[in-house]
Amino acid sequence: MALKKNIDPIRQFKDWLGEAEKTEPNDPTAMTLATATPQGIPSARMVLLKGVDERGFVFYTNLTSRKANELNANPRAALCFHWKSLRRQVRVEGAVEPVSDGEADVYFASRARVSQLGAWASKQSQPLQGRFELEARVAKYTARFNVGSVPRPPFWSGYRLAPASIEFWEDQAFRLHMRFVFRRNDGGWTMEELYP
């Protein structure tokens, strides 16, 4: 990987993501999202990247979920993308903030209707008494929104991670991997190479 010192890491990420979209067998936008409680207790889970630009990396969730509760209490997170087919990884760290209602509305409207209904039906991260309870809730909201569009639930939205650092890793022979980290600095980026 020949990175130049003046390269934009967001552009580099989009280039790698574009390659992953051609080679990964499933979910090239899958990323590990790591959060922590105010006491520093970590948790991680896979989510899907739904947008990236110079402002940051966007994902969506139920606002009553464990991840949302942790982000609201401790608005810092880390992401990790691993594209096995390309033998590449990207790590991102930074502060997290909610997306605007308008952004959330636009994305929610783009989802499949069954996914929209599922967002209404799921009490994400809450105890479930059995599959029938979930299926009954799906039926309830299917009937409720039988005609017309499904509005975005007030308890469902997104977050944007504004990157303070972005690290690119690429597998190399003899475990002498390539690692470059970009750190945000006074509105720009500085880059340095790291030992593998």
Confidence (pLDDT) at 172: 87
| Sign (positive or negative) of CA dihedral 159, 162, 167, 170 | positive
From the list 45, 66, 113, 175, the catalytic residue is 175
Domain range spanning residue 34?
Answer: 9-99+157-193
Confidence (pLDDT) at 176: 85
Q: What is the mean pLDDT of the chain?
A: 94
- Which residues, in sequence order, are bridge partners of residue 44? 34
In a domain, residue 53? The reply is yes
Confidence (pLDDT) at 7: 81
Residue 113 burial (CB count, 10 A): 11
**Separation of CA 68 from chain center:** 12
In a domain, residue 180? The reply is yes
Helical H runs in 35-157? 66-73, 101-110, 113-121, 131-144
In a domain, residue 55? The reply is yes
pTM of the model: 0.93
Return the CATH number at 36: 2.30.110.10
Confidence (pLDDT) at 4: 59
Span 94-146, pLDDT tens digits:
999 999 999 999 999 999 999 999 999 999 999 999 999 999 999 999 999 99
Tokens of 36: 């922590």
Please say if 131 is a catalytic residue: no
- Residue 107 per-residue DSSP state: H
In a domain, residue 149? The reply is no
| Total number of domains constituting the chain | 1
Dihedral of CA atoms 142, 65, 14, 103 in degrees, nearest 10, equals 60
In a domain, residue 144? The reply is no
Low-confidence residues of the chain: pLDDT under 50: none
Residue type, 193: E
In a domain, residue 141? The reply is no
In a domain, residue 122? The reply is no
In a domain, residue 15? The reply is yes
